[in-house]
Amino acid sequence: MQYKYSVGKVKLLQGGNVVKTILPLTDMTIDYSLSTTQQYGPDGVAIDEFKDEEKLTINISYATDQFDPSLMQGEDYDLSFETAGDGGDKGLAATLALCRLTGYRVNASQSSFSITTLTFSKRGDIDLLPGEEPTKQLVKFAKEGGGEVYIGDSAYVVTTYKGNAKGLIIPTALGVLPRSTNDLGGGELNIQIKGYVGKSTRLELEQYLITLYNQLSTGVGTLTVEYGASSYTIDNCIWTGGSPDTNNKEHTSFELSFLKSAY
């Protein structure tokens, strides 16, 4: 018995509308990769493993007699894989949302057609539905007396603590006499906000950061960290500085520093 397994066609959709139907397909690959970090116990045995980076890449090759520059814009598409449509169920049927076109290559030319390969990179969770957006962690700064601003398109928090604890060496005594932050006063929480923002041009990036610095520069306020329906706050914070990555044209990662009294 002969059994053929294939994808009949692929539809590229934006906002529920079909932008392009790809038929006939000559080849298709879906590559999934996951990098992890393992944590080891004192006996050298792995006791835990954490996800670092997850990637899904789709390559679609098809025969065509047209060169389609409209696809070469790096846009997001929902990919709808459909069966052959011959009345049977042979084939792969699935939908992958938010796939960004990252490659357009003409592989070979014949007298009347060529083989074109499109490469897509999946954004968001693999089981994301069309119309959904990946959940981003957001950080908002609200100043006392009014006024608030979200920091970048997405951001996260890294904190360090520095206490005013000292060990006093007493002459003729053995050892040291410790004095805690509670005795001496002080103690500070240093907060680093690491975020990113995307714009259409380098000029817009520069304008955004200057405006953000102006909004943060005056007054004490509260940082609110949000992820979906969950959140927490850090009150009595003041902005002390910031620096961006200067090498990118349409997006930049940046870091902001805030200071809070630990008591």
Count of domains forming the chain? 2
Percent of all residues in the chain with a pLDDT value above 70, rounded to a whole number: 94
Residue 84 above 80 pLDDT? no
**Confidence class of residue 53 from pLDDT cuts 50, 70 and 90?**
very high
Residue-level pLDDT at 156: 96
Residues 104 and 159 in one domain: no
The domain spanning residue 66 has which CATH number?
A: 2.40.30
Residues 109 and 155 in one domain: no
* Contact present, 57 and 119 (Cβ < 8 Å): yes
Residues 142 and 254 in one domain: yes
Residue-level pLDDT at 82: 83
Which has the higher per-residue pLDDT, 236 or 184? 236
HSE toward the beta carbon, residue 245, CA cutoff 13 A: 13
How is residue 154 written in tokens? Answer: 């997405």
Q: Which of 28, 19, 149 is nearest to 81 (CA)?
A: 28
Residues 166 and 252 in one domain: yes
Last residue of a domain, one of 92, 122, 152: 122
Residues 113 and 141 in one domain: no
Residue-level pLDDT at 239: 94
Residue 191 above 80 pLDDT? yes
Residue-level pLDDT at 1: 36
The pLDDT tens digits for 117-162 are: 999 999 888 888 898 889 999 999 998 888 899 999 999 999 999 8
Range of the domain at 212: 137-261
- Quick one: CA dihedral 9, 12, 80, 67, positive or negative? positive
Q: In whole angstroms, how far apart are CA 125 and each of 60, 121, 178, 214, 233?
A: 21, 12, 51, 35, 27
